[in-house]
Structure 1
Amino acid sequence: MSRGAGVAESSDDHSASSEEKDCPSPNLDTSKDSKSGEDSSSESSSESESDNETPKPEKTNGELRESSTEDASNQEFNEIQSHCEHCNAENKHNELVTPRLLSRGQFLLKVDTEGTYQCMETGLIFEVNRKVDIKYCVLSWSKYADLVVKPWVVGGPLFDVKCDPTCLTSIHFPHSLCLGHCDANMTFKVLHVKSTGASLEYTVDHSATHVKWHVSSLSPVGPVIQSEETVFHHGAVILYKAIDHNPSLSFRVYIATNNESFIKDISKSVKHSSKKFMKIDKPPVCQKLLQNGKKYRLISDPEAEITPEEIEFVDGSLLKLKSYSEVYLEQPVEFKLLLVEMDSEEIVWKAKLRECDWVQHDQNPNISKSSTSGNRRRKMSSSLPDEVVYDKRMKQIGTSDGVKTKTLLTDTQLINLAEKLGKEWVKIAIANLKLKISDIDAILEKKEDVTINKFRMLKKWQEKEQSNATAQNLWNCLKNINSVEVQDVLKGFLQET
């Protein structure tokens, strides 16, 4: 992905500028490091329009959300949780909230009272002193690459936050570093990009997961670091499969820091490629820390063509073009893929890719070229509110010839739904899905993660329904469930059929 460098002009009413609009880049002011808490006029910039956009259906509105140990959601802006022996879970006393998702990657969080709130989608933590509406989004570091000057390097995602700055006491930015090795010799600051220039501002504190900054004014802000020792990154491996009519398999493998700005850049790069790709949902978190300059090798079993096989890892947050490896197999067979550190020969990440990971998606009619009339219909419907489009879609499904409604649900869809089901999933299984209590007992005996239990419950329903295990049938069973998140997922299933 390539974007022009620059910062959008600020405005008093905090209106966001268009993503495509380029403005002159401010100069980095390193001679005036401003300490947190200094008074400054409120400023705002953004890479996307948001204030005049119609919000999508709200998931929750600042409600507590049931936590799970793994996140298999297929959303573009997911936080990829890291699991590291050096980084214990912190911030346990923060209220976990799920923001409202607006269009163009914008989030809206409505806070009703004073407190400390952690966004479940981005990891941001907000300390507020009264009721406030906070709008924010993830930005690309590559747009501001010329402002990050050595010895400073990127420490985590870059955000644009907009609200009344007098209501927001401090922000805790998530970072992608492991501090178990060199915390004492590492300095954190925050790069604050303003229309009048950019400066490195002092932080208040940092933890194993976050960097705390007292709000001075609001505009693009993100953590940067300076270290006297080797920097260790929590890493992620992101997989995409090329979609075409060839029997062969072709994948893109991206090795990234666990940094939402980086991961968002990868997603946009793939989206704007001349080829069509689908994301392969595999656990992305590297089980061993990544280091700049270290060499890593991709290995496939059975053997595949991998270009390049060897990779020297660098944090590519500031690079417009994100590097990747291509994995190619002539025949569509199941295979294992491993990332190995060359010096120690230790496995950093591994996954098994099965036919079910891609075959359902390859058969999706949406990947084929649409007719002119089809494009016209989509353009017309895109101008309608989401609720109207959904109602029209429901009518189309209800009057269809039965072919589309017979598309069976995939494991990926079921795990996404399982994550949204709440604590009453057992009641739902018996009352709505007509499962037996013995089925539930058999699932609970395995003593697995609660999300996996819910997934197995849905699989049991699928086995019972067999050819009737469709999105329409599942909607009919669960349409009375009082959960906005569940209903959103079910509507998405219907729209995919």
Structure 2
Amino acid sequence: MSRGAGVAESSDDYNGSSEEKDCPSPNLDTSKDSKSGEDSSSESNSEIDSDNEEPKTEKINGEGGESPTQEASTQVKEWKDKEFPTDYLNSEYIKPHCEHCNAENKHNEQVTPRLLSRGQFLLKVDAEGIYECTETGLIFEVNRKVDIKYCVLSWSKYADLVVKPWAVGGPLFDVKCDPTCLTSIQFPHSLCLGHHDSSMTFKVLHVKRSGGASLEYTVDHSASHVKWRVSSLSPVGPVIQSEDTLYHHGAVILYKVVDHNPSLSLRVYVATNNESFIKDISKSVKHSSKKFMKIDKPPVCQKLLQNGKKYRLISEPEADITPEEIEFVDGSLLKLKSYIEVYLEQPVEFKLLLVEMDSEEIVWKAKLRECDWVQHEQSRNVSKSSTGGNRRRKMSSTLPDEEVYDKRMKQTDTSEGAKTLLTDTQLITLAGKLGKEWIKIAIVNLELDISDIDAIREKEEDVTIYKFRMLKKWQEKEQSNATVQNLYKCLKNVSVEIQGVLEGFLRAI
């Protein structure tokens, strides 16, 4: 993968901003191999003086059967009754559908951060404790009141620093706060350890300002997280070394090409359930020469993915699929992410299935309906107006939140918005943009009862329909007050993306 690595002499940290910088040739410090449970020594911090010693290091060298269509169709018919659960989270951070891995960390206090510009999160905690971020899965142990800023970074920027026998174990983060307030960080990992964790070694890759990195001891690891004692802060993320096969939690992510053609063209990404990887996919789609919309379907694979295993994508009714089969590799370090193209000349309701070729077991499946891909005229208006809104937000990003909100309201003609009731089209558009925090929004912002949410979730429906029904419940409660402007006021403290959609509704009036 990369050249041999030498020992970095500098203890300076990398002062990474949320805008990732190019990384020079790797200089890798590595602590002696250890199983989890060993503690890390503290490293001197570039911002706060400390007498702690550097971790001990040593040099390491790193190097760097297709089935016929008719048979496939028969298999699909047999699988039609084997429906998967549909209650999944619409978020970059996707919890795996795995009883072994989801049994962890239920005792931690769940906190939702504020979304800042450029994908940064801000978490404000008022007291000592252990807090789990609902958006990223990060767990922070703090010893007093502190504000923590953090964002997800791309592993591909630092590919040369991850040398064999080490492999990516989970997302890479840039965390910023007063390090003396932060005792430990637990990073979510994307592997299913099952009964093989005794043969696995986790460490944390700590990127330095000099362009090199060190591998630092972990305190412990669980079925879902890797715990690291904070030495100093700069880009950090878990890596793993294993004597056995690595089993990855997988995710399947769908994007539709938006154009004027009557046909239907999709990109299907098969990824490890790693937020850095998923964010890379989002960036790749965003910077494509084509326009795309994300199709919100349960992304989590129901069977673990393995490097080197072959998988086939099947459509019923039949579609043009290129390639029809893929060999899975963890592409976290790859700049270009591979995908499968699905093309239907005449769009109809259809089903997609990802199948492991050796066992012919279903790994993932979804049913796609016309409402999943129809691009309403209203959505196009929202997209155009949101672009202008983003420019204004960048200009005013230094203003306090209330001033920014007041300025937006002044820029938006709300006289008609105060009288215009929301349409079902607008509600379904907004539902598609709401993330995993939709239940909290329903209770805190829209003042719905938890019984309302439970009633909505009794039916096995797509998560977007849950969110739509939640908004309809608010509309029924508000009646004549269920206006665009009223909803805008209710959701003023939600994400910038949601505000942009509502601003588009106001301008379209």
- Return the letter of the residue paired with 1:420: K
1:456 equivalent to 2:473? Answer: no
C-alpha separation between the residues in 1 aligned to 2:441 and 2:127?
27
Q: Which residue of 1 aligns with 2:94?
A: 80
| Contact kept in structure 1, 2:378 and 2:426, CA below 8 Å | no
- Deviations along 1:56-90, one digit per CA (max 9) or x if unpaired, are xxxxxxxxxxxxx94544x5xx3101111332421
Secondary structure of the 1:229 match is coil
Question: Which residue of the other structure, out of 430, 433, 437, is the alignment partner of 1:413?
Answer: 430
Give the letter aligned to residue 349 of structure 1.
W
Name the CA distance, whole Å, in 1 between partners of 2:474 and 2:388: 38
Alpha-carbon distance change, 285 to 16 in structure 1, aligned in 2, over 3 angstroms = same
The one-letter code of the counterpart of 2:431 is L
Structure 1 residue 250, shift from structure 2 partner: 0.5
Separation in structure 1 between the aligned mates of residue 366 and residue 107 of structure 2, nearest angstrom = 34
Can you list the C-alpha shifts for 1:8-39, whole angstroms capped at 9, x where unaligned? Answer: x9989x96547264353441123677974423
2:255 is aligned with what amino acid?
Y
Q: Is the 8 A contact 1:118 1:125 kept in 2?
A: yes
C-alpha distance in 2, partners of 1:20/1:289? 31
Aligned to 1:128: 142
| Equivalent runs, 1:105-184 vs 2, <5 Å | 105-184=119-198
Q: Contact between 2:167 and 2:239, CA under 8 Å: does it hold in 1?
A: yes
Match of 1:495 in 2: 503
Q: Which residue of 2 aligns with 1:201?
A: 216
TM-superposed CA distance for 1:110, in Å, is 1.6
What is the aligned partner in structure 2 of residue 24 from structure 1? 24
Distance 2:101 2:391 in 1: 47
Change (3 A) 1:131 1:486: closer
2:371 partner amino acid: C
Q: Does 1:259 pair with 2:274?
A: yes
Q: Would the alpha carbon gap of residues 230 and 114 (structure 1) be closer, same or farther in structure 2, given more than 3 Å must change?
A: same
Match of 1:298 among 310, 313, 328: 313
Letter in 2 for 1:494: L
The one-letter code matched in structure 1 to 2:440 is K
From 201, 223, 228, give the equivalent of 1:187.
Answer: 201
**What does residue range 208-287 of structure 1 map to in structure 2 within 5 Å?**
208-287=223-302
* Secondary structure at 2:426 match in 1: coil
1:441 and 1:24 map into 2 onto residues whose CA distance is 51
- Shift of the alpha carbon at 1:411? 3.3
Please tell me whether residue 323 in structure 1 is matched to residue 355 in structure 2: no
CA contact (8 A) 2:179 2:232 kept: yes
Unaligned runs of 5+ in 1: 1-8, 45-68, 431-436
Identity %: 69
**Alpha-carbon separation, structure 1, partners of 2:456 and 2:291:** 40
Once residues 87 and 267 of structure 2 are traced to their aligned partners in structure 1, the CA distance between those partners, rounded to angstroms, is: 23
Answer yes or no: is the 8 Å Cα contact 2:141–2:185 preserved in 1.
yes
Q: CA-to-partner distance for each residue in 1:224-268, whole Å, 9 max, x for gaps?
A: 111111110100001100000101111000000010000010000
Q: Contact 1:360/1:410 (CA < 8 Å) preserved in 2? A: no
How many matched pairs?
444
Q: Separation in 2 of the partners of 1:127 and 1:262?
A: 26
Q: 2:405 aligned to 383, 387, 390, which one?
A: 387
- State the Cα distance separating 1:352 from its structure 2 match: 0.9
- Match status 1:364 vs 2:382: no
Letter of the structure 2 residue corresponding to residue 411 of structure 1: I
Letter in 1 for 2:135: E
Give, in angstroms, the shift of residue 410 of structure 1.
Answer: 4.3
**SS at the partner of 1:264?**
helix
For normalisation by structure 2, the TM-score amounts to 0.76
Distance of 1:222 and 1:272 partners within structure 2: 25
Q: Could you tell me how far apart the structure 1 residues matched to 2:380 and 2:467 are?
A: 29
For residues 365 and 29 of structure 2, the distance between their equivalents in structure 1, rounded to whole angstroms, comes to: 43
Please say if residues 133 and 163 of structure 1, whose CA atoms lie closer than 8 Å, have aligned partners that are also in contact. Answer: yes
Query: C-alpha distance in 1, partners of 2:202/2:495?
Result: 42
How far residue 344 of structure 1 moved from its aligned partner, in angstroms, is: 0.8
Residue 187 of structure 1 deviates from its aligned partner by 1.0
TM-aligned CA deviation for residue 286 of structure 1: 0.4
User: Do 1:211 and 1:223's aligned partners in 2 also have CA atoms closer than 8 Å?
Assistant: yes
Kept after mapping to 2: 8 A contact 1:26/1:193: no
Match of 1:166, SS? helix
Matching residue of 1:65: none
C-alpha distance 446-275 of structure 1, shift in aligned 2 (>3 A):
closer
SS at match of 1:352: strand
SS at match of 2:99: coil
Task: String of CA shifts for 1:153-195, please: whole Å, max 9, x gaps.
Answer: 1000011111121111111000000011411111111111112
- TM-score norm. by structure 1 comes to 0.78
> Partner of 2:79 in structure 1?
none
CA RMSD of aligned residues (A): 3.9
Whether the 8 Å contact between 1:160 and 1:220 is mirrored in structure 2 is: yes
* Separation of aligned partners in 1, 2:266 and 2:445: 36
Which whole-Å CA distance do the structure 2 matches of 1:298 and 1:89 have between them?
Answer: 31
Separation in structure 2 between the aligned mates of residue 43 and residue 227 of structure 1, nearest angstrom? 33
The 2-side partners of 1:171 and 1:189 are apart by 13
Name the structure 2 match of 1:350: 365
Residue of structure 1 equivalent to 2:322: 307
One-letter amino acid matched to 1:398: S
Deviation at 1:94, TM superposition (A): 1.1
